[in-house]
A and B are shown apart, each in its own frame.
Chain A
Amino acid sequence: MARLKLRINGDDTEVEARETALLLDVLREGLEMTGTKRGCETSHCGACTVLLDGIAVHSCVVLAARCEGKEITTVEGLSRDGELNELQRLFLKHGALQCGYCTPGMLMASTALLRRNPRPTLEEIKVGLDGNLCRCTGYTGIFEAIQACAARAK
């Protein structure tokens, strides 16, 4: 076991974990931050997507120990003082979610995309969300939400 020092959503946290523990397990089991979802566990579905220094990663294949000294952002870090951010609101407005299980990962992947490219083209959205599956929406609402967010970018 090791004591990991992690910085998550701007807060410094310490957590007891095995050296081989995956970031997903440390978040969900160790810290009881269950917003990040466990899906396929083989880095195909993207339900577990979080940001690591602003880059979208699948937390089911990232060693938690490798995240020390890095800035981790999870879905819980998107709202400020209980207020949804613009992307979250647009996801709701455009029907970008149904069952909601892919949503935390989809939001994190979209956040990473919009941070590095505030006005992505259709093709760039497709590349940006290539690693995130959604079985409910047919992706159309997700496209619309991201496009609406991009349209508001200054």
Chain B
Amino acid sequence: MQNSKNKVKAPTFSSIGKSAPKIEGVQKVSGQARYTADYLLPGTIWGKVLRSPYPHARIVRMDTSRAKAQPGVMAVLTAADIPNVLTGRRLRDMPMLGGERVRFVGEKVAVVAAADKDVAEEAAQNIGIEYEELPAVFDPLVAITEGAPQLHERLQDYKGLPKLASAINNVYSHDAWRIGDVERGFRDSDHVFENTFNTQHVHQSYLEPHSSVLSIDKETGIIHVWMSNKVPYNTKRSLSDAIGVPAEKIVIHVAAIGGDFGGKGALMDLPLCYFLAQRTGRPVRMIMTYAEELMAANPRHAAVIVMKTGVKKDGTLVARQVKAFWNGGAYGAMKPIPSVNLPGAVKAAGAYRIPNVKIDSYAVYTNSVPCGHFRSPGMVQLIFAGESQIDMIAEALRIDPLEMRIRNAIQDGDLTPGESKRGMIDVKCREVLEEAHAVSNWKTFKKAPHVGRGVALSYRNVGIGDANARLSLDPQGIVSLLITYADTGTGAHTILCQMIAEVLEIPFERVQLQVGTTDSFRSEAGTGASRVTFVLGQAVLKAADKLKALIRQHGAEMLGVSPDDLILKAGRVTVQGGDGRSFAFEKIAAAAIAKGERVEVESYYEATETPPEGVFTACVAEVYVDIETGQIHLRQLNTVHDVATVLNPVGHQGQIDGGIMQGVGYALIEELAMEDGRVTTLNLGEYKIPNIRDIPLLQTTLVRGKFGAAPFQSKEIGESAISQVAPAIANAVYDAIGIRIMDLPITAEKVFRALQARRTEDQGTVRR
């Protein structure tokens, strides 16, 4: 299914650039890998919650007597039994249990503990709650109007409220960027296009539901946590604030994570596990059912995007104004960045040089599920809007859509909104588009009836943040890396071991990796934003260099020479050009230990500014549309990726293929359907993600640049493959049948209705 056309020259490294097998792979294919739910502590009991059936209601009274009287029930807690503290990753706006009021269908209102899961579940359902419904609002455009119900009257008092909050009703974050003067830009344009696009809620659909296991050590009072969570330090701090226990008393153990895609960073049930453990003296686990996942986790934001673009007759972009209204749901608690907005908003103008840009990004409260991050958050929605509109403009101006993109492509030195002040370097935007042109036979493609093709373009950067690494050499000659970053499946841990093997010039098999608890280091950012290979990679590279120097120093002492006289090769230090005397790493470690020393180093790396290298991606989609049913048959996706050094080709390709297929699901089938704020697609049969039958022919082409911010001149790939898929398909559908779908997903029903409407219109014209 996969044809990879790799234009990259073979690298000259020993470990880097090889498809080293996943270091945790053997465990994963033999069933030995331990995910949170696999930690079965003796005496563990279950926690199960009761959730609100109303989108917005006041709780009039609660009756827990029946549940409490039920045999086997060990604890029943409501808001009255726990501290009145609001929680969140940045903005602390979410109650642990709804007390006086609930703001979405699925909000937790009570929790029950029992040794038996079914007993806990049944008892939770036996809690009687009387609600008084309040007026609810679901549409962000309605929520921002003055008369709309206000969801958070005390917004100004919330901890973590961004300075960017606004006076607009229900807006808790307004992020903005300006370049030039858009009004003047529109005046200087020959044509101005303004369109509104809508995107849907979608769930990350990791197969492992949110799981939490918490145990309190009776002697020390230390709280041990295992959780499907990729940001252990943030979780430790948030949990500490939520339960009022000092952070030093909390240890987070990093378990294997069964898929993340941005969704596994929030506290979820963890504070409730603590309160139940505290009441019962037993370890507690809470595992969300998939129905709970789909109704009340933290899906991708639905959005309304107003895109206004001014162009010259020749297709030159002059100005772009973007207004994004994110349907944030009832709480902003799931969003990790300080602006409590979506990081992709800064890319709203696309991969183009536009002298006048104005972006306004509003996070809006509504009575629906609180939203969070999902692979390239914000960008996925905005690139759909922006890249659909570029095609609409190209058609109006009678310019080839690929040519229009090439004409406006970002170039070296360009300053983009909010990004590097140094200007971008080693930009491969034009090359990526030209390659897409070539590999898709763009000009010579013969169009059959109802077959069409569409192109889309996007760019992004690696994320910033910090990371720690500890590296040691043992008397067996094994180099051990200790980190606290989770590998969510991307292969990041394997790549780190490859880096160490490369620097120390040892076989990959001699590097081991251990994931420590949060006691290992003070703090760090954690997995997300495609930062891992960059910031953790740089920390590991620094540690490897330090360890190399330390080994050399020890070797020099043992051999009675200067460290400069030594070379490291194949796990030995050898006197250069001399008598060939040498010591194996094993001996050096053993000698150091005999002296009471450890051959161990530690390093820390922090990036505070977005690096100037972008990652450009182009996608060409080919579809056939059945005009009788509206069904879209996605035949092929040609994607072109701008890379520098590829660290692990199989892992790299896996990120591309996985990202693309999530893009396909987003474009065509996925939608958390809602009725009055109630999610109606409550299982993976109703909420459809692509299965193995949905793969089109995928063709990957890599275009090589020289520079990347990550070690060995590498670039991010985790999030860059997804955003351009939906607009490429939308543009292909238009090319095939002349129907422009501006709200995702592009379902057969929407296409069918649009075709029907057109037929009716045509008949009307004929009659006139």
Contacts and interface: CB of A to CB of B under 8 A. Distances in A.
Given A37-B258, A140-B1, A126 B692 contact: yes
Contact of B489 (A42, A47, A84, A136): A136
Contacts, number: 181
B684 A40 contact: yes
B533 interface: no
28 contacts: A28-B37, A29-B40, A34-B34, A34-B37, A40-B684, A44-B685, A47-B207, A75-B31, A78-B29, A84-B26, A88-B30, A92-B22, A93-B650, A95-B650, A100-B258, A101-B207, A101-B258, A104-B31, A132-B691, A133-B691, A135-B206, A135-B658, A135-B662, A135-B689, A138-B661, A139-B691, A140-B698, A142-B692
Interface string B236-257: 0000000000000000000011
Nearest to B289: A41
A97 B1 contact: no
B595 to A, nearest CB: 37
Contacts of B658: 98, 135-138
A45 B684 contact: yes
Interface string B20-41: 0110111111111111011010
Contact of A132 (B34, B660, B692, B695): B692
A99 B653 contact: no
A154 to B, nearest CB: 23
Interface of A is mostly: loop
Given A75-B29, A98-B654, 4 more contacts: A98-B489, A135-B689, A138-B698, A139-B691
A38 B37 contact: yes
Nearest to A76: B31
Contact of A42 (B2, B28, B488, B685): B685
B215 interface: no
A21 B685 CA distance: 23
B555 interface: no
B366 interface: no
Interface of A: 28-29, 32-42, 44-45, 47, 74-76, 78-79, 84, 88, 91-95, 97-104, 107, 122, 125-126, 129-130, 132-144
Contacts of A140: 1-2, 653-654, 657, 695, 698
B29 A103 contact: yes
Interface in B275-292: 287, 289-290
B629 to A, nearest CB: 21
B683 interface: yes
Most buried by A among B258, B259, B260: B258
B660 A34 contact: no
A1 B32 CA distance: 29
Contacts of B651: 95
Contacts of A84: 26, 29-30
Contacts of A92: 21-22, 25-26, 29
Interface of B is mostly: loop
Most buried by A among B1, B21, B206: B1
A141 B258 contact: no
A139 B695 contact: yes
Interface in B523-581: none
Nearest to A74: B31
Given A44-B683, A129-B692, A132-B692, A100 B489 contact: yes
Contacts of A75: 29-31
B321 interface: no
B654 A137 contact: yes
Given A94-B650, A143-B1, A133 B689 contact: yes
A53 B1 CA distance: 31
Contact of A35 (B32, B491, B661): B32
Nearest to A46: B207
Interface in B691-732: 691-693, 695, 698
B542 to A, nearest CB: 27
A39 B29 contact: no
A60 to B, nearest CB: 10
A99 B128 CA distance: 40
B693 A130 contact: yes
A138 B4 CA distance: 14
Contacts of B692: 125-126, 129-130, 132, 134, 139, 142-143
Contacts of A38: 37, 209, 287
Nearest to B664: A138
Nearest to A98: B489
Contacts of A32: 40
A144 B257 CA distance: 24
A141 B654 CA distance: 7
B21 A42 contact: no
A37 B256 CA distance: 13
B208 interface: yes
A141 B650 contact: yes
B684 A37 contact: no
Nearest to A142: B692
B205 interface: yes
B650 A107 contact: no
A78 B206 contact: no
B30 A76 contact: yes
Interface in B660-697: 660-662, 683-685, 689-693, 695
Given A41-B289, A101-B35, A135 B207 contact: yes
B222 to A, nearest CB: 25
B2 A144 contact: yes
Contacts of B685: 42, 44
Most buried by A among B19, B24, B208, B209: B208
Given A40-B683, A141-B650, A79 B30 contact: yes
B212 interface: no
Most buried by B among A33, A34, A132, A135: A135
Interface in B476-492: 488-491
Most buried by B among A94, A95, A134, A139: A95
